[in-house]
């Protein structure tokens, strides 16, 4: 088994001639927590969308776990274990916390999902759903409508629904965005826990979170890789400092 789980070569995405991601070559080590950082508009979200196949690259290749996934569809790469967390919009607010995870499990096991299927059918997923909620610290919240969860807990639910997909590699998009200090600490601890035995690629603005979590960091700016390395190396890089200060 190769040390590298995900590798891109010359990954490029142009929108009407505008280069949002240009010639990005990434190598992500199996089992690592890898941070993707950069100022607004740097191309982080576009990269995520390319890696999970929500966007097709204009040029370049993506290898995941020894396979070329460049031409695959999002559902195909998700089945291979490369799964992104969805933003809160993917949490169904009128369903309870438990029902949200059940639906995610049902999607994973059965393909499409259907709210109107009988409860009996959905209940077969209960034990697994409760275990996942335990993993993300949501025991006790099972019967609360997801829409009533405090913000930080919603992000934890989002991670539980991602875990339901049985990812080998998780892509987390700003898991601590808009959180209080206390929630940030909780999510950092949670990411550390869920990263055990997995690879995590993390887009994150909070550099303290990045320094505490990431083994390796890639800095993007204007669609290009500006620097790569561990936090200490990257944080000392004058080009990175300039990009962050906007000089
Ligand atoms: P980040 O996530 O780092 O803030 P994005 O990947 O969202 O950056 O955006 C990178 C650049 O590409 C931005 O200048 C953005 O305006 C542009 N962009 C992103 N998506 C599209 C699109 N669908 N059409 C045109 N331009 C886009």
Instruction: Give the pLDDT confidence of 163-189 residue by residue, as tens digits.
Output: 998 899 999 988 888 888 888 898 899
Whole-number Å distance, alpha carbon 124 to ligand 1 midpoint, is 41
pLDDT at 110 over 70: no
In the CATH scheme, what architecture does the domain 1-81+170-187+199-247 have? 3-Layer(aba) Sandwich (3.40)
**Residue 107, pLDDT score:** 77
Residue 29 is encoded by which pair of tokens?
């080590």
| Residues in CB range of 137: below 8 A, 6 or more apart | 156, 186, 190
- Residue to substitute in 16, 21, 42, 46 for testing ligand 1 pocket (most ligand atoms within 8 angstroms of CB): 46
Model-level pTM?
0.89
- Distance, in Å, from the CA atom of 74 to the CA atom of 55, rounded to the nearest integer, reads 9
Whole-number Å distance, alpha carbon 145 to ligand 1 midpoint, is 33
Lowest-confidence pick of 67-81, 84-98, 142-156: 84-98
Helix pair 126-135, 151-163: axis angle to 10 deg: 130
Whole-number Å distance, alpha carbon 203 to ligand 1 midpoint, is 14
Q: How many Å from the N-terminal Cα to the C-terminal Cα in the chain?
A: 43
- Is the ipTM value over 0.90, yes or no? yes
Reduce the DSSP state of residue 141 to 3 states and report it: coil
Lowest-confidence pick of 142-146, 166-170, 227-231, 243-247: 243-247
Q: Where in the chain is the domain with CATH 3.40.50.300?
A: 1-81+170-187+199-247
Atom of ligand 1 nearest to the CA of 16: 25
- Distance, in Å, from the CA atom of 183 to the CA atom of 115, rounded to the nearest integer, reads 31
Q: Determine which residue's CA is closest to atom 18 belonging to ligand 1.
A: 20
Q: What lines the ligand 1 site, CB under 6 Å?
A: 15, 18, 20, 38, 40-46
Q: Determine which residue's CA is closest to atom 17 belonging to ligand 1.
A: 20
Lowest-confidence pick of 18-22, 54-58, 118-122, 217-221: 118-122
């Amino acid at each position: 088994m190769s040390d590298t789980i995900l590798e891109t070569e010359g990954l490029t995405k142009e929108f009407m001639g505008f280069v949002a991601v240009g010639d990005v070559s990434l190598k992500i080590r199996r089992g690592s927590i890898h941070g993707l950082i950069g100022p607004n508009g740097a191309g982080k979200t576009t990269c995520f969308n390319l890696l999970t196949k929500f966007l097709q690259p204009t040029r370049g290749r993506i290898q995941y776990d020894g396979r070329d996934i460049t031409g695959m569809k999002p559902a195909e790469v998700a089945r291979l274990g490369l799964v992104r967390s969805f933003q809160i919009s993917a949490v169904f607010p009128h369903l309870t916390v438990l029902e949200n995870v059940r639906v995610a499990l049902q999607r994973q096991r059965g393909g499409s999902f259907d709210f109107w299927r009988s409860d009996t059918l959905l209940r077969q997923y209960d034990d697994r759903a409760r275990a996942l909620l335990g993993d993300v610290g949501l025991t006790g919240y099972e019967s609360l409508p997801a829409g009533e969860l405090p913000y930080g807990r919603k992000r934890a639910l989002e991670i539980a629904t991602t875990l339901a997909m049985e990812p080998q590699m998780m892509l987390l998009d700003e898991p601590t965005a808009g959180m209080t200090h206390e929630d940030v600490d909780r999510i950092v601890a949670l990411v550390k826990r869920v990263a055990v035995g997995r690879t995590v690629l993390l887009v994150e603005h909070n550099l303290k979170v990045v320094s505490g979590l990431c083994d390796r960091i890639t800095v993007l700016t204007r669609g290009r890789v500006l620097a790569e390395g561990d936090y200490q190396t990257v944080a000392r890089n004058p080009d990175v400092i300039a990009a962050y200060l906007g000089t």
